[in-house]
Amino acid sequence: MFRFAARKTIVTGTKPSPNAVATLAESQSSTTGSSSSSSSTTNSRSVTSDSHRSGMGYGIVHQQRIPADESENLFRRVASPKTVSVIGAPMTYGQPFVGTDSGPSLLREQGLLQDLTTLGWRVEDIPDLDFSTICEQARSESLSSNLSHNNNPNAKHSLEVGAGTKVLAELVESKLKLGKFPLVLGGDHSIGIGSLAGILRAKPETGVIWVDAHADLNVPSVSNSGNMHGMPLGLMMKDLIPDRSVIPGLEWLEEGPTSPFLNPDSLVYVGLRDIDKAERHFIRQLGIKTFTMYDIDHLGIGNVMDLALEHLLQKNPDRPLHLSYDIDAVDPLYAPATGTAVRGGLTWREAHFVAEHVVRSGALASAEIVEVNATLADGQGASETVELGHQLVNALLGEAIL
């Protein structure tokens, strides 16, 4: 099965205008009249017209929010009454494009919080973490301590990323210990450093499903770009970097009674298709269970997800799971507004199935969605990407077809 995606235009260097949300809403309202004949073709894997480069153009169609049957007890790792803690993590320092900081607000503006209540959740909406203030304070403290000269040039903005992810880690850890479901809205994928650290401190036995076009398994010594959104998993692997305190800003990872590290056997990749040379070596060296897009084409998404869950739950059926969802796992045909789009990704339905099937396991205890960047496509493509992110979050919190 061949996968093609349309070309897209990348626009960088400007933040969304104050009217960004209104623009997305206007774009959405102007396309809701798409015909049923158009929607019937949304599973097509190829497109040849340049006019489609900003998205499929099928519009946002109405969809009912129907929770799964409560008798199925799909969120067994969450205390009753089940509560989702929505945590906005508008991080931009892990990669070079502005705009990822608008992700949390755009997802909320789509009606996410109301949808979660409709799905049967008590919603604790935590205001977006103030990374601007947090990171500026970290820079000031570094300067006053004369530590700026130690900034690692191959871990760009490590002081800022470290300061922001430390706050996120503490918040995620506290919510898990209270029996709540942390739902983290990014932000770039460097927030995974904080999410994983908090999860592993609260529930060290957690298994992780990483849905992404990229492996994010770099460490500063091998990274081609130095961008920290490509390092969250590498920084959690003890065999790759046993002492994270050598990276300015990440000293906190080595503080406390236990340092959070992820066992390679507790990780499964889904959807990889753009892997750096060093990451390929690490995946083989560490024996990480990996399903690339080749495997999805060959086996089908159903078999892939069965095997992923079997790997994580066969030895310990009671372990909690965390799902980290990078929107660039989805083909840019459906999600063009992201910073590192790669052709040949998940289809619209495959993307939803991944979330739905993990929920069906009953083991999901936390989740995050990252790298939605509405500045990197025109109004139509931005609107479709934000709405897809919104729908994937709903699927992760138990929205069901039947």
Q: Which residues are catalytic?
A: 189, 212, 214, 216, 229, 326, 328, 371
Question: Does residue 113 contact residue 381 with C-beta atoms inside 8 Å?
Answer: no
Specify the 3-state DSSP secondary structure of 69.
coil
Q: What CA–CA distance (Å, rounded) separates 175 from 199?
A: 10
Q: How many CB atoms lie within 10 A of CB 314?
A: 8
Sign of CA dihedral 260, 127, 14, 331: positive
Helix (H) or strand (E) segment spanning residue 124:
strand 122-126
Q: Cis bond leading into 90, ω under 30°?
A: no
Token pair for 17: 């205008």
How many angstroms separate the CA atoms of 308 and 324, rounded? 14
Closest CA to 389 of 101, 107, 63: 107
Q: How far apart are alpha carbons 275 and 285 in whole angstroms? A: 15
**CA-wise closest residue to 196 among 217, 215, 228, 168:** 168
The whole-angstrom separation of Cα 207 and Cα 44 is 33
Q: DSSP class of residue 75?
A: -
Write the CB contacts of 280 (distance below 8 Å, at least 6 apart in sequence). Answer: none
> Six-digit token pair at 265?
């056997």
Q: Is the peptide bond between 271 and the residue preceding it cis, with omega within 30 degrees of 0?
A: no
DSSP state for residue 314 in the 8-state scheme:
S
Is residue 84 within 8 A of residue 123, CB to CB? The reply is yes
Q: What is the DSSP string of 211-251?
A: E-SS-----TTT-SS--GGG-TTGGG-TTT-S-GGGSTT-G
